[in-house]
Amino acid sequence: LVTRWFLGAGDTPPPGFVLVMGGIVGGAVSAGMLANGGLSAPDWQAGRLFLLQGFPLLPVMGIGPYVLPRFFGHPSGHSFDESPTPPKGWMKRAAASAAAGSLVVAGFFWESRGHAAAGQLLRAVTILGWFAIETPWLRKARKPTTPGNAIRWAFASMVAGLVCAAFWPQARIGSLHLFFVAGLGLATVAVATRVVLGHAGRHDLLQKRIVWLRWVTGLLALAALTRMTSDFIPKVTVSHHIYAAWSWAAGCMVWLIAMARYFFRREEDS
């Protein structure tokens, strides 16, 4: 989409795609730098942080304001009329997207320079502020849905994971499981659920309580919390790692089994 726009053969993409491209390009650059070696320890850590966290996070921050408001029955502030040139208001949103991405990247560099807690808290505040302003995840939904509630839990987990990593550095790895598993992972599952059901023509299911998605949400949260607690209780480390892995696998299997029937069904076939 972005490439076609640059070549003059498509409409202007949503302004949040600045973050999407930043995540993809930054991830590629970071991977190349890490592969070539020769970096100082701080630069190596900054590149690794971007590759592991920025690469998946920035696209979510970019696509979220365009896609997620409909989860709550709200219009998107990143949705503009089709136009080959940026319409009025687009540049303002794109600049805000670039600023949010810059703060995330600044958090990586801050952390890599020996200020881990400050960098993690900066990212937590940026994520919280960005999604609070650009999506309705902290506002009352006009149409409450199970995927929307899953998104609420996912964003809260992303913020909580970074905050916990900042305050309990000895349990940083476990705390980041909140960010990855119950945060980015759950957000991916929620969006995938809506996309698959929408393309299958089952919009009616999205307006109902999706019990199995609640189970998936609970299992992913359990996986993250179980893995996190293992860092605080050394004597149960191995068993909690196993429980966390099984919970994660069970959540993925529940989602796969529940959604499999809709994978190859098109809207016109339903």
Q: What is the pLDDT of residues 212-266, one digit of tens each?
A: 999 999 999 999 999 999 998 888 899 999 999 999 999 999 999 999 999 887 6
Question: Please, where are the H alpha helices in 135-199?
Answer: 146-167, 172-179, 186-199
Q: Is the pLDDT of residue 268 over 60?
A: no
pLDDT tens column, 67-84: 999 899 899 988 888 877
Residue listed under structure tokens 């600044």: 106
- Answer yes or no: do 116 and 240 share one domain: no
Same domain? 129 vs 214:
no
Burial class of residue 165 (count of CB atoms within 10 Å of its CB; 0-12, 13-18, 19+): buried
The pLDDT of 198-225, averaged and rounded, is: 93
Judge if 100 and 156 occupy the same domain: no
The predicted structure's pLDDT at residue 36: 87
Q: What is the pLDDT of residue 191?
A: 95
Domain match, 267 and 139 both: no
Over residues 15-34, mean pLDDT = 95
In the structure, what pLDDT confidence band is assigned to residue 2 with cuts at 50, 70 and 90? low
Q: Is the torsion defined by CA of 236, 242, 246, 252 positive or negative?
A: positive
Taking the C-alpha atoms of residue 154 and residue 163, their distance in angstroms, rounded to an integer, is 14
136 in Cβ contact with 74 (< 8 Å): yes
Secondary structure (3-state) at 79: coil
Closest by Cα among 136, 151, 237, 134 to 192: 151
pTM listed for this prediction: 0.91
d(CA 187, CA 155): 8
Compute the mean pLDDT over every residue in the chain, rounded to the nearest whole number: 91
- pLDDT band for 10, please (50, 70, 90 cuts): low
pLDDT at 6: 47
Is the torsion defined by CA of 11, 17, 22, 23 positive or negative?
A: negative
148 and 130 in a common domain: no
For residue 173 the two structure tokens come to: 């790895």
Q: Do 135 and 149 share a domain, yes or no? A: no
Give the residue from 143, 160, 175 where a domain finishes: 143
CB 213 within 8 A of CB 149: no
138 and 151 share one domain: no
Q: ∠ CA 220-20-182 to the nearest 5 degrees? A: 10
- Residues 116-124 have a mean pLDDT of 98
**Do 38 and 105 lie in a common domain?**
yes
Same structural domain for residues 149 and 134? Answer: no
Q: How many structural domains is the chain composed of?
A: 2
Lookup: tokens for 17:
């795609």
Same domain flag for 97 and 159: no
User: What angle (nearest 5°) sits at the alpha carbon of residue 98, between those of residues 95 and 104?
Assistant: 145
Last residue of a domain, one of 143, 159, 178: 143
pLDDT tier for residue 12 given thresholds of 50, 70 and 90 = confident
Residues 116 and 154 in one domain: no
Look at residue 7 in the predicted model and tell me its pLDDT.
Answer: 44
- Residue 25: which domain range? 1-143
Q: Which among 85, 61, 239 has a CA at the least distance from the CA of 137?
A: 61
